[in-house]
Structure 1
């Protein structure tokens, strides 16, 4: 499968897992079951998630729409968390939490260590996968709030469902149709989120509905690769500089089309240049002051 197909597969299984979980908590698209009708194990999560659900119902004016929005937020949050963990693992920022290896008994290294410290977990479902993941998220939340158990959309499906979701994430790097070392790629998060929204684009197109202001992002949300961003910045900010200083050596460092041979713009201090940053990666523009000052900051 291509990366976009993996993303859609993962999104679907997370979506279904949360529909199952909400059902067990007495939350459906049509009704909220009384709390006393539920197993005690679901009470705390139900009370917390019901608050979110009621806010969505007030916002959308519909129980059915609130339910769909809740599923969407829960799904996107878990997708975000697990994708972030895969990227962090690939870059060596933490021990593998999701990526399993045969040398650790088909467990991740972190899970293997956790079981050494919590041997009772071996007798739990999927060897204590849920408490293990909860503990890892809680530890990481000290630096990254997205992982916090207090995050509004914090919820995990059953251990078996979570195992299937993790398996789906781990299948990505094993697929020959996917770029090698995909999780190390600078572009992977951009491609993931563009692919994640494909189902919304397809649904909107199928509906043949007019693209209202609140739907524009669905149609226009396209990831811009780093090389494209660099080209755009080189040929806007870089060219502007050459129009003031055509003899600058930056024309040798950056690929700037039709570099001017003589000044055709009034010199302007760098501090007076105003930028509209419409592309996430265009922070690359801040590489330029270093190049300018290499020639002597007196020019700018």
Structure 2
């Protein structure tokens, strides 16, 4: 796919998102140099001499703990990427019409510098959204920024059920750091929408390319050096070219299937499959002895132990789908089976594991429009370190 626009956009986006969330943290009295004390008076939380609703206290405490655990700069880096990742995910889904309500959240199909969800907010039903407050803000006519923020967070909360690994629960500390001025013409959202043409979002590969270019400057800073554990993903991340991915999947999973079913039409779909070399009669007999006479698609598994953005698992999804359909399964039943029974992914980078999970959910959603309602249990895990890890 074309990556020129992504390469121009993503590195600067990292800087812009970090700057924006750092500014938000400062608003709540959290900076690299200090954390201001909090005083609660009735239904008001005072941070320094600035008043906030009392409800801000719990997520702010969570944010303070995160800063203490990770360090200020790493916490801001993490929050910036969380919002970058969420917005990219929503952008992909709104263009694919996967959000369930038929409206765009980050753009408008007919108007520049506008938001379809803002225009149609009274007709949208998102779980947990306070429609009384939405009506109040809409009818006021002067509070579009506040209204849009409510709608965007409402969309994130609605996606939590289907993808909790990417969209954390209500009142998460990261929510506090959602940047302001979202409806302005120079907002982070507008930059995302304008910088990357809509056609570039047609392939789920875009998510992997966005991440690769997002961390490219950091990778340049740490490559070839002894790096801290949190910098290992940046130093080692590499997007595998599509033909290599196809070659790997077709000559592992595909070869396994063809060894049992050599007449399978699957062979004609695998352009990078290599026929086994001619063997002696003795070797043929040994191979026959260990080759199962039949295979149940639901028992086959494929793991990528360094899944990155899920490129290999996405390709494997397509091959598994072809296998299931060959065996007579209905296409709408295949998605959940593949995601829960066949595909497994590991990565040392939690952000990469999120990308893998999202990419797989998008592949599944393309085949089953009910998928988001089915609480799919993905087999994707971030193994950041082995301290306290229980192999059982």
Shared topology, TM-score over 0.5?
A: yes
* Gap change, CA 1:158 and 1:74, over 3 Å in 2: same
1:29-40 map, 5 Å: 29-35=32-38, 36=46, 37-40=48-51
Q: Which has the higher helix share?
A: 1
Q: What value does the CA root-mean-square deviation take over the aligned residues? A: 3.4
Whether the aligned pair in 1 keeps the contact of 2:14 and 2:214 (CA below 8 Å) is yes
Q: What corresponds to 1:298 in structure 2? A: none
- Is 1:119 matched with 2:138? yes
Q: Which has the higher strand share?
A: 2
SS for the counterpart of 1:232 is helix
User: Runs of 5+ in structure 1 lacking a partner?
Assistant: 61-65, 175-179, 295-300
Whether the aligned pair in 2 keeps the contact of 1:242 and 1:260 (CA below 8 Å) is no
Whether the aligned pair in 2 keeps the contact of 1:53 and 1:67 (CA below 8 Å) is no
Q: What corresponds to 1:153 in structure 2? A: 174
Whether the aligned pair in 2 keeps the contact of 1:89 and 1:96 (CA below 8 Å) is yes
* Gap change, CA 1:241 and 1:30, over 3 Å in 2: same
* Gap change, CA 1:291 and 1:123, over 3 Å in 2: closer
* Gap change, CA 1:221 and 1:159, over 3 Å in 2: same
TM-score, normalised to structure 2, is 0.61
* Gap change, CA 1:115 and 1:34, over 3 Å in 2: same
* Gap change, CA 1:89 and 1:293, over 3 Å in 2: closer
Q: Deviations over 1:105-147 (max 9, x none)?
A: 8422111122794434521264733233233333444544306
Report how many residues are paired.
280
Q: What corresponds to 1:73 in structure 2? A: 78
Whether the aligned pair in 1 keeps the contact of 2:14 and 2:215 (CA below 8 Å) is no
SS for the counterpart of 1:98 is coil
Report the alpha carbon displacement of residue 8 of structure 1 after superposing the two structures with TM.
1.8
Whether the aligned pair in 2 keeps the contact of 1:97 and 1:110 (CA below 8 Å) is yes
Q: What corresponds to 2:304 in structure 1? A: 277
* Gap change, CA 1:150 and 1:228, over 3 Å in 2: farther
Report the alpha carbon displacement of residue 233 of structure 1 after superposing the two structures with TM.
1.2
Distance across 1 between alignment mates of 2:160 and 2:8: 30
Distance across 1 between alignment mates of 2:327 and 2:93: 34
Q: Deviations over 1:11-55 (max 9, x none)?
A: 222211111111121111111122241411276436523333334
Q: What corresponds to 2:64 in structure 1? A: 53
Q: What corresponds to 1:219 in structure 2? A: 235
Q: What corresponds to 1:166 in structure 2? A: 189
SS for the counterpart of 2:304 is coil
- Is 1:135 matched with 2:142? no
- Is 1:238 matched with 2:286? no
Q: What corresponds to 1:110 in structure 2? A: 117
* Gap change, CA 1:246 and 1:13, over 3 Å in 2: same
Q: Deviations over 1:232-257 (max 9, x none)?
A: 11122333555566565543332322
TM-score, normalised to structure 1, is 0.77
Report the alpha carbon displacement of residue 286 of structure 1 after superposing the two structures with TM.
2.5
User: Runs of 5+ in structure 2 lacking a partner?
Assistant: 39-45, 124-134, 329-392
Q: What corresponds to 2:126 in structure 1? A: none
Distance across 2 between alignment mates of 1:17 and 1:125: 20
Q: What corresponds to 2:267 in structure 1? A: 251
Whether the aligned pair in 2 keeps the contact of 1:77 and 1:154 (CA below 8 Å) is no
Q: What corresponds to 2:90 in structure 1? A: 85
